Structure 1
C-alpha cells in the first residue's frame, strides 16, 4: 500500500515539474533524432524500442527539447535514472567523450535542418 502512495506522489510531482517548463520536442523531431542516432545514444544497441531520455534530468531542471533529449534503450534509461550523464557514463565505463561529441554532432545536424528537411514518418518506419 505504501509503494502505491509513493508512486502517486512521485507521479504528481513529476507532472508539476513538467507543467512549469516549456517542453517543445515534437514527434517529428523525435523520429529524426532516432534516425540520426541509429540506436541507443549510450550503449549503441539497435533493434530495441527506444525511450526519450533527458541528458539533464527533469528532476534537475531539464526538459523535453531537441537539445536535451536522446534516444535510450530501456536498460540505459532505467540505469541512468536522474543521474548526471557524465557521472553515469563514467560509472558504467562507457565512452563519455564519444557520447558528448556525437551528441553535439547530432544536435547541430538536427538544428540545421528545416522542418521540410526532416524525414517523414514513412521514411523512418
Structure 2
C-alpha cells in the first residue's frame, strides 16, 4: 500500500474528529445566520461565498452548533485555520469587541 499524502492524512484525521461529535446546526439556522450577518462575520465582505466557520475549532473540541458557527469568507476561514478567534483577530488587527458584541446580538435575535 502506497504511503498517504499529508493532505490525505489530515483529511482522515478530520473525518474521525467530525464523526466523534454531534453537530446540530440545521440548514434553516445556517441560512438565518447568513442573513443576519449579511456577509463575513470577521471582515464584513458581502460579495464572497460564505463558509461555516467554527469559533471554537473542531480540532479544539468545537462543533457545528448555532452558538459556535459564523459565516466567513474563504480568506478569513483559511487564515483563521484552527486558531482561537480573539487571538486571531488581534493578530489580523480586526475589531474583536465589535465581533463579540455582534455575535451576542445575533444569538439573542435567533433565540
Q: TM-score, normalised by structure 1?
A: 0.84
Cα shift at 1:109: 1.2
- For residue 45 of structure 1, give the secondary structure of its aligned residue in structure 2: coil
- Higher relative CO (CA 8 A, sep ≥ 6), structure 1 or 2? 1
Q: CA separation in 2, counterparts of 1:8 and 1:46? A: 32
Runs of 4+ in 1 over 3 A off after TM superposition: none
Structure 1 gaps of 5+ residues are 113-125
Partner Cα separation in structure 2 for residue 95 and residue 36 of structure 1: 19
User: Greater share of helix residues, 1 or 2?
Assistant: 1
1:77 aligns with 2:77: yes
- How many residues end up aligned between the 2 structures? 110
Q: CA deviation at 1:77?
A: 0.4
Q: Which runs of 5+ in 2 are unaligned?
A: none
Using the size of structure 2 for normalisation, the TM-score is 0.95
